[in-house]
Amino acid sequence: MEQEDDSSPCFAHTLVDGHVVDPQTRHDVSVFRKSNRQRLYALRQKPTLEARQSAAKNIADQLGTILDDISGKTIAAYWPIRGELDLRPWMEKAIEQGAKIALPVVVEKNHPVEFHLWTPDCKMTIGYWRIPVPADAVAVTPDIIIVPLLGVDKEQFRLGNGGGYYDRTLAQLPSAMTIGVGQSFAKMDTIYPMPWDIPMQRIVLADT
pLDDT tens readout for residues 146-196: 999 999 999 999 999 988 999 999 999 999 999 999 999 999 999 999 988
Which amino acid does the sequence have at 191? I
For residues 136 and 116, give the distance between their C-alpha atoms in angstroms, rounded to a whole number: 8
Cα distances from 189 to residues 153, 156, 165, 185, in angstroms, run: 5, 10, 23, 12
Between 196 and 103, the more confident residue is: 103
Between 171 and 17, the more confident residue is: 171
Kindly tell me if the per-residue pLDDT of 73 is higher than 90.
yes
Q: pLDDT grade, residue 89 (50/70/90)?
A: very high
Which amino acid does the sequence have at 57? K
pTM: 0.87
For residues 51 and 14, give the distance between their C-alpha atoms in angstroms, rounded to a whole number: 44
Range 28-34, long-range pairs (CB < 8 A, 24+ positions): 28/192, 29/192, 29/194, 32/192, 33/159, 33/162, 33/191, 33/192, 34/162
Q: What is the pLDDT of residue 23?
A: 85
C-alpha torsion sign, points 146, 152, 157, 160: negative
Task: Look at strands 74-76 and 100-105 and give their pairing.
Answer: parallel
